[in-house]
Structure 1
Amino acid sequence: MSITCYKIFDGCLCGQFPIMEETSMMISTPDGQSSSHRQSDHALACIKNEIVSCRLAPGAHFSEAELSNRYGLARAATRAALTRLTDVGLVQPVPRHGFIVTPITVASLRELFELRLMIEPQAAALAVGRLDPAHLRAINAAPQNAKSKTEQLAFVDSNRAFHSEIARSSGNRRLFALLETLADEMQRLVHLGLFGPGGSVHEQREADAQHEALIAAFEAGDAQAVQQASRLHIEHSRALAMDRIVKGLAPLVLA
């Protein structure tokens, strides 16, 4: 049986758990998941959180080695995480020059929200009668209660779960899969819109009220009201993201 030796680090700057650096071969843990796989998952969460929060800014260049050293991550875990982040479009490989954090462009932002407006309200309407409003309310989170960086990232995850549950409940697997392809990029824009430069508690409360209106429409079983609430919420998110770009990220955004 192969044996793995690890060096233990105190922790990652963007994580909560100790990081283990692989120095030999891999060994499986009792639950069947390899330690290297767990390291890869942790590296993915660590780097993704930095991208979502824009601490790794749009357009920033970096190498695999730089990220490993910066966050105390094993090189193999960093490599696997970057492959997965490339697959979802948050980073882009640059031949012989490492990687770049996918820029936020005005054009890509416009396209993403146009696509959401075309399909997400319809998916929400299809979910009426299929979705359990009590469950949706249980997974909803209020952005105005997220004060620390960790709480803000946790809200972004909860917000993704909220919208994914609606899309999944549409009963249309292709529609759900299409919306899921937008989810990773949307997490960065949600964080930027609600917690980026110029963000306010008033705007966060408004976003929360829109979620509550959407839940209420589901409780009433009113497909038309659900569509309208979904559309208003997407338009509000688009306005916030564009505003933050103008106020705080303009030098990093391409026209």
Structure 2
Amino acid sequence: MSASAQRAATGSELPLSEVAYNRIRDDILSCRLAPGEKVTERGLVADLGMSMAAVRNAMTRLDQEGLLITQPRQGSVVAPLSLHSVGKLFDFWALLAPEIARTGIPALPDDQLARVVENGSRLSAHVVPDDDAATRDNLLAAIDAALHIFTLLADATENPYLIAAHRRLIGELSRVWRLVIQSEFDELGGRVSALRDVVRFVEARDAERSAEFLRTHIEASRRRVLSALARWPSVSRSEITVVR
């Protein structure tokens, strides 16, 4: 299939390597490609219906971002997770998120502040009686909205180093929260508490109080996540395994 035909089939004007990157990255972040799962160029070419060159370029980018780990003569695996690595992830997030808030809130344009407020309206995950799937979808949407708020704030800093660090961490956080949702549903029978409001200080443009709030909030989230994952029967000392 020619590049133009592939582009037409995907319904996108983006370069094919960008389309492949976005699709593989989304599969990793949503855990459709599970932590530790082996992937091959040929397998992804077959799954995506795209060229080897596009898939290879996408895999190189994902390897650079830490979402894939490629070893010579051993192929590639989706970056595994362990309780240790998740703990370190939250340790760094507790340093990065307050700094993003501290520098991003004062620089946030009014139109982007409106987008923060819009996403803030979706932070509460409503329980749908007798429908765990719908409740889970609501929780995922709320988490995505929260992560998008940080993307808006990171972009507002115009600091390429903060933006790059944020992009790498936000992908890992997305994976972790999706795993935790499954664990929480198994343990709590679908009971979901509303996410705490992290947007009120942004709307008030109070950067310092926002940063202070985030330090406390992220530490509480760290304890909750590690506690939830530690209850998984599949958790070993080295890796967290998704049981399908």
TM-score by length of 2: 0.72
Q: What is the DSSP-based 3-state SS (H/G/I as helix, E as strand, rest coil) of the residue aligned with 1:197?
A: helix
**Aligned residues of 2:125 and 2:142 also touching (Cα < 8 A):** no
The CA distance in 1 between the partners of 2:237 and 2:35, in whole Å, is: 6
In the other structure, the counterpart of 1:14 is none
In the other structure, the counterpart of 2:90 is 113
Residue 184 of structure 1 and its aligned partner are, at CA, apart by: 2.2
In the other structure, the counterpart of 2:114 is 134
The CA distance in 2 between the partners of 1:252 and 1:63, in whole Å, is: 26
The CA distance in 1 between the partners of 2:89 and 2:51, in whole Å, is: 34
Describe how 1:97-246 pairs up with structure 2 within 5 A.
97-131=74-108, 132=110, 133-140=113-120, 141-142=122-123, 144=125, 147=134, 157-170=144-157, 172-193=159-180, 195-199=181-185, 202-203=191-192, 205=194, 207=195, 210=196, 212=197, 214-246=198-230
- Count of aligned pairs: 225
The CA distance in 1 between the partners of 2:219 and 2:210, in whole Å, is: 14
Residue 109 of structure 1 and its aligned partner are, at CA, apart by: 1.7
Residue 215 of structure 1 and its aligned partner are, at CA, apart by: 1.8
Residue 204 of structure 1 and its aligned partner are, at CA, apart by: 5.3
Tell whether 2:28 aligns with 1:51. Answer: yes
> Which consecutive unaligned segments of at least 5 residues does structure 1 have?
9-16, 21-28
**Aligned residues of 1:124 and 1:226 also touching (Cα < 8 A):** yes
In the other structure, the counterpart of 1:250 is 235
Residue 98 of structure 1 and its aligned partner are, at CA, apart by: 1.7
The CA distance in 2 between the partners of 1:198 and 1:40, in whole Å, is: 36
Q: Per chain length, whose mean CA-contact separation is higher, i.e. which structure has more relative contact order (CA < 8 Å, sep 6+)? A: 2
Amino acid at match of 1:198: E
> Which consecutive unaligned segments of at least 5 residues does structure 2 have?
127-132
Residue 185 of structure 1 and its aligned partner are, at CA, apart by: 1.8
Residue identity (%)? 26
Residue 162 of structure 1 and its aligned partner are, at CA, apart by: 0.8
TM-score by length of 1: 0.70
**Aligned residues of 1:198 and 1:247 also touching (Cα < 8 A):** no
Amino acid at match of 1:110: G
Listed one character per residue, the Cα deviations across residues 6-49 of structure 1 (whole Å, up to 9, x for unaligned) are 479xxxxxxxx9559xxxxxxxx9xxx57xx2x33332232222
Q: 1:5 to 1:196 in 2, by over 3 A?
A: same
Listed one character per residue, the Cα deviations across residues 210-235 of structure 1 (whole Å, up to 9, x for unaligned) are 2x2x2212333434421232123322
Amino acid at match of 2:125: Q
Amino acid at match of 2:175: R
- TM-align CA RMSD: 3.6
The CA distance in 2 between the partners of 1:97 and 1:224, in whole Å, is: 47
**Aligned residues of 2:229 and 2:235 also touching (Cα < 8 A):** yes
Amino acid at match of 2:75: G
